[in-house]
Structure 1
Amino acid sequence: MELDRRGAELLFQVLTEREEKNSVAIASNESFSGWTKTFTDPRLCAAIVDRLTFNGAIIQSGTESYRLAHTKAQAEQAQAS
Structure 2
Amino acid sequence: QVISQRHTQRSTILSTNLPFAQWGKVFDSNTVASAIADRLVYNSEIIILGGTSYRRKHK
Give 5+ residue unaligned stretches, structure 2. none
RMSD of the TM alignment (CA)? Answer: 1.6
**Paired residues, what number?**
59
Letter in 1 for 2:31: R
Quote the Cα distance in structure 1 between the aligned partners of 2:52 and 2:33.
26
Q: Where in structure 2 are the equivalents of 1:49-64 lying within 5 Å? A: 49-64=37-52
CA shift, 1:56, in A, is: 1.1
CA shift, 1:55, in A, is: 0.7
TM-score norm. by structure 1 comes to 0.63
Quote the Cα distance in structure 2 between the aligned partners of 1:27 and 1:40.
19
CA shift, 1:50, in A, is: 0.5
Larger of the two Rg values belongs to structure: 1
Higher relative contact order (CA 8 A, sep 6+): 1
TM-score norm. by structure 2 comes to 0.83
Partner of 1:33: 21
Runs of 4+ more than 6 Å apart: none
Partner of 2:5: 17
CA shift, 1:63, in A, is: 4.0
Residue identity (%): 37
Quote the Cα distance in structure 1 between the aligned partners of 2:27 and 2:5.
19
Quote the Cα distance in structure 2 between the aligned partners of 1:28 and 1:35.
10
